[in-house]
C-alpha cells in the first residue's frame, strides 16, 4: 500500500491475461475474470496456487493450505462464472471473491462461492467493493426480474453485510423475526442439493448441519463477530461450529440502479455538500 504505480515492476504480468481491472484503492490492483474456465490462463492459476493458500488460511483459521489448493483445482476454478482477486504491489493476494451463475428454485441466482480478506486489510471495505464488481453484471443480466444472491455462511459479519446490501429490511432470509417463504425454501433446497447437503438442510431455518464437514472444527477457531450484537447472539444460538445457513438475498434491479447513482453522486467532487447528496446519504 506504499506505491502509486498502477503496475508495479514486481507484479506478475501473467495475471493480466484475460482479466479486467477493478478499482480497489491506492497501491492495490483488483483483477476480475469472467467465464473463468476460458479466461483464467494456466500461468495465472499457478501463481494463485503458489500464493493464495497461505493468505486464505489467515482469513479462515481452521482451514489448511491443502483445503485451498483443492479449491483452486482446475475442476473447481472452471465452475466459477466470476473471480476477483486483489493483489498488493508484490502480486500477493489480499482479498478475493468468487461466484457462480445458477438457477435455483426456478429463479436466476448469483451464488457467492467464496470470499475472504487478509487480516491486515480487513475493515478497509475491500470485500464489498469487489462483490459489487461481480454483482453489477449479474443484476443487469437478470433485469427486470429480481436477482437472488445465495451463499452458505456461518459468519454473522457476512450475514449483516449482505442483508443490508439489498437496501431493504425484508429482502434477506433466514431472519430471526420472520419465517422463510416457500419460494426461498425452494432456492435454498436447490443450492443445498448442489452442495450435496440437502439431507442436512432444515427448510424452516435454512440451517445446514455439519456444512463444513471437510474440516475438523469448521472454518474458524473462533467464529467472527459483527457490529450487531443481536445477529451475533442469534448465530451463536442457531449454529454449531461446523453448521451454516443458506443465506438468500433478493436484489431488485431498479433499486440497485438508484443506489449506484447515489453512490456515484456522493463520490463526485463539488456535489458532496449539496442538500440532495446529504438527503441521499440519509436514505441509503
Per-residue pLDDT of the chain (284 residues; tens, 9 = 90+): 333 344 444 667 877 888 999 989 878 999 999 889 999 999 999 999 999 999 999 998 889 999 999 999 999 999 999 999 999 988 899 999 999 999 999 999 999 999 999 999 987 888 888 988 888 878 888 888 889 999 999 999 889 888 888 877 789 999 998 999 999 999 999 999 999 999 999 999 999 999 987 766 667 677 888 888 999 999 999 999 899 999 999 998 866 655 654 554 454 444 444 333 322 222 32
In the chain, domain spans: 1-145, 146-251
DSSP symbol at 28: -
Q: What is the pTM of this model?
A: 0.78
Cell 461446523: give the residue. Answer: 242
* Cα separation values, 235 from 84, 158, 221, 243, Å: 28, 12, 16, 10
d(CA 108, CA 239): 28
Cell of 265: 453522486
d(CA 258, CA 87): 30
144 CB-near residues (< 8 Å, 6+ apart)? 253, 254
Q: Which fold has domain 1-145?
A: Aminopeptidase (3.40.630)
d(CA 129, CA 23): 8
Q: Which of 263, 11, 34 is nearest to 135 (CA)?
A: 34
Confidence (pLDDT) at 11: 65
Do 246 and 152 contact (CB within 8 A), yes or no? yes
Amino acid at each position: 500500500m506504499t506505491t502509486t504505480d498502477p503496475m508495479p515492476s514486481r507484479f506478475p504480468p501473467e495475471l493480466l491475461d484475460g482479466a479486467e481491472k477493478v478499482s480497489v484503492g491506492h497501491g492495490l490492483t483488483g483483477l476480475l475474470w469472467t467465464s473463468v474456465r476460458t479466461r483464467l490462463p494456466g500461468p495465472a492459476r499457478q501463481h494463485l496456487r503458489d500464493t493464495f493458500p497461505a493468505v486464505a488460511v489467515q482469513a479462515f483459521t481452521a482451514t489448511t493450505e491443502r483445503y485451498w489448493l483443492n479449491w483452486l483445482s482446475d475442476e473447481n476454478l472452471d465452475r466459477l462464472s466470476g473471480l476477483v482477486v486483489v493483489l498488493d504491489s508484490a502480486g500477493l493476494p489480499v482479498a478475493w471473491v468468487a461466484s457462480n451463475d445458477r438457477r435455483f428454485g426456478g429463479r436466476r441466482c448469483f451464488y457467492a462461492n467464496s470470499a475472504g480478506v487478509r487480516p491486515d486489510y480487513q475493515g478497509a471495505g475491500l470485500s464489498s467493493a469487489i462483490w459489487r464488481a461481480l454483482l453489477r453484471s449479474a443484476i443487469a443480466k437478470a433485469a427486470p426480474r429480481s436477482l437472488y444472491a445465495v451463499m452458505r455462511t456461518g459468519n454473522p459479519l457476512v450475514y449483516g453485510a449482505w442483508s443490508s446490501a439489498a437496501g431493504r429490511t425484508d429482502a434477506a432470509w433466514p431472519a430471526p423475526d420472520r419465517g422463510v417463504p416457500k419460494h426461498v425454501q425452494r432456492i435454498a433446497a436447490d443450492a443445498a442439493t448442489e452442495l450435496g447437503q440437502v439431507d442436512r438442510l432444515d427448510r424452516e431455518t435454512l440451517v445446514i448441519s455439519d456444512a463444513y464437514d471437510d474440516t475438523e472444527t469448521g472454518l474458524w477457531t473462533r467464529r467472527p463477530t459483527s457490529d450487531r450484537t443481536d445477529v451475533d447472539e442469534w448465530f451463536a444460538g442457531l449454529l454449531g461450529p461446523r453448521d451454516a445457513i443458506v443465506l438468500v438475498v433478493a436484489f431488485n434491479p431498479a433499486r440497485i440502479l438508484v443506489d449506484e447513482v447515489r453512490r456515484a453522486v456522493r463520490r463526485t467532487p463539488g456535489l458532496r455538500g449539496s442538500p440532495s447528496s446529504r438527503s441521499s446519504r440519509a436514505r441509503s
